[in-house]
Amino acid sequence: MVGSKPAKWLPFFLIGSTLLFFYLPILIMMVFSFNGSRSLTNWAGFSTQWYTQLFNSRDMMAAVMTTVSIALISTVISTFVGTVTAIGLSKSNKVIKETVLMISNLPILNPEIVTAIGLMLLFSAFAIRRGFATMLLAHIAFSIPYVILTILPKLRTLDPNIAEAAMDLGATPWQALIKVIVPQITPGIVAGALIAFTMSFDDFVISYFVTGNGVKNISILVYTMSKRINPTINALSTILVVIITIALVLVNALPMLRKKERIAIE
Amino acid sequence: MKAFRNLVKPYLFWMGVFIVIPMLLIILYAFTRQGNDVMTFTFTFDNFIKFFDPIFLKVLGKSLQIAFVTTLVSIILGYPVAYYVANTKEKTQTLLILLITIPMWINMLVRTYSWISILSDNGFLNSILKAIGLSPVSLMYTDFAVTLGMVYNFMPFMILSIYTVLAKMDKALIAASYDLGANRLQTFLRIVLPLSVPGIIAGITLVFLPAVSTFVIPKFLGGGNYMLIGNLIENQFITVGEWNFGSAISLIMAMVIMGSMLLTRRLDRNVEESDKGVNHGNGGVMYGRQ
């Protein structure tokens, strides 16, 4: 490679094989979710039996319901608390701000399993029966730090005098907050909510330790069912992959489309 | 402005309950004997002494070894990918980064589970080997399978954090290096590589930390008897019910991880000192989670 241009095929080959490595397992899983037999290697004709089984399985549907409802509720609560806290922090003095962030970031810096057993010990110390409620509380707890971290940089770019100006003009602090500050950090709030939702939706380790009473989310169900080859997991995963891919493509394509529209209008 | 400061207060209480107390409880459990009453604690170092048994030390050693190999492989395979992606056209970059990111959004258990169907004795890989006339290999439940699963799950973090630094790098520096007579290799070794160290360091944190503590990947690809430190902790809490010993192991693991992170950071500082005056990009971008 010294002195001469590297061969064109090298980058192509490297990036291509890396992407193949990332996508091959997912593709195989998706293809075999339509397999006629239980086998993951022998193709026994096209069939949607695993999808039928999936929708008929009470466990599966309960896990989907648990996952979605916990993700939605914890996103709303953690986004609200995170936003309020971030705004408060942006107006606090440096010492308070740094101390709060240091403690708040502990669950991000710690291995997940440590956070998980800490919460498990907490719930048992207060004799709270583990189940849906404890899982929800845990999800709110691990999401808030990420929401704060996402919103704080947006607040930093904000003119510090703007809220004061609003209040000089007669706005109450509450009005200044809702009508002046919040609209300007909306992109940050949306990003924080998205992170909170996906973190909750995908979580396994913390949910696994703080749940009980038979309450399972999708990850826990996959973990307990993984002992035997179970094509319904493939069917469920395929549905999730399709939904996530569509959502991601939309999120990435929308700004581009809008830009094009704007150019077209101009 | 004082009115807004009070907005922090509810979270102070919340943090106390959901972050500080759990940490204190882990420490409390680690230093006490089992069968604590609400108010009577028997302090002991037994839980830590118990860990210094060859069986458990071996588990810790193996976890560190596999996490180290995973991190190393992620750098060696991930760096060139990040480098070439950063050198493509801007539109291609966006597309490639999106393609690398999509799998990370898919449930980690599901992605790891799908490797079972590739690696198992009558799996995808062996059916290909059979088709081209080679003898089948037994890959499941080996160190190789576990390391592969970890590289698969964590390498995207390495690629993305190296890419972030490389993409922000001032291209004029490279042009200047050529103008001054350096060839491609010299330019890479003396300009590009040193400047991308912060990205590598950030990547190491994002790969090594989850690799040491995961218990899902070894369970799926290493089998039920495969023990890494994460599995050991899981067993103490879920199966055995020895929370005190489990807490002690978690503390030891947290210490070991913190130690290796400090070591890595020192590495970074040494590099920074050796080429003072060159402004480093910030590689500490959080891509999230594991």
Residue A236 lies in a domain: no
Sequential DSSP letters for B229-264: HHHHHHIIIIII--HHHHHHHHHHHHHHHHHHHHHH
Q: Which domain holds residue A206?
A: 60-225
pLDDT at A33 over 50: yes
Å between B283 CA and nearest CA of chain A: 16
A170 domain-assigned: yes
Q: Which domains are assigned to chain B?
A: 1-30 (no CATH), 47-274 (1.10.3720.10)
From chain A residues 92-131, the ones with a CB under 8 A of any chain B CB are 92, 96, 100, 103-104, 106-108, 110-115, 117-122, 125
Residue A38, min C-alpha distance to chain B (Å): 11
H helical segments located in A6-48: 9-32
Domain-embedded: residue A256:
no
Residue A211 lies in a domain: yes
The pLDDT value given to residue A265: 66
CA distance A82 to A67: 21
| Tens-digit pLDDT profile for residues B240-258 | 989 999 999 999 999 999 8
- Confidence band for B271, pLDDT divided at 50, 70 and 90: low
Query: Ranked by mean pLDDT, which of A88-102, A213-227, B110-124 comes out on top?
Result: A88-102
Please report the DSSP string for B62-80 in residue order.
HHHHHHHHHHHHHHHHHHH
Q: What is the pLDDT of residue A197?
A: 93
Residue B8 is given by DSSP the state: G
Structural domain count, chain A: 1
Whether A113 shows a pLDDT value over 70: the answer reads yes
Which of A72-76, B98-102, B106-110, B120-124: highest mean pLDDT? A72-76
3-state secondary structure of A46: strand
**pLDDT single digits (tens) A63-72:** 999 999 999 9
pLDDT, residue B193, reads: 93
> In percent, how much of chain A has pLDDT > 70?
93
Q: Which of B37, B109, B160 should we substitute to test contact with A (largest number of A Cβ atoms within 10 Å)?
A: B109
Tell whether A114 is covered by a domain. yes
| CB burial of residue B96 (10 Å; 0-12, 13-18, 19+) | buried
Does any domain span residue A153? yes
Asked, for residue A198, whether it belongs to a domain, the answer is: yes
Nearest to A111 among B12, B246, B257 (CB): B257
Please name the residue of chain A whose CA is at the shortest distance from the CA of residue B119: A25
Summarize the confidence of residues A192-212 as an average pLDDT: 94
Q: Please, which residues have CB within 8 angstroms of residue A157's CB and are 6 or more apart in sequence?
A: none
Contact map slice: A 175-194 vs B, CB within 8 A:
177
ipTM of the complex: 0.86
Query: What CATH number should be reported for the domain holding residue A122?
Result: 1.10.3720.10
> Residue B45 in 3-state DSSP?
coil
pLDDT over 50 at A1, yes or no? no
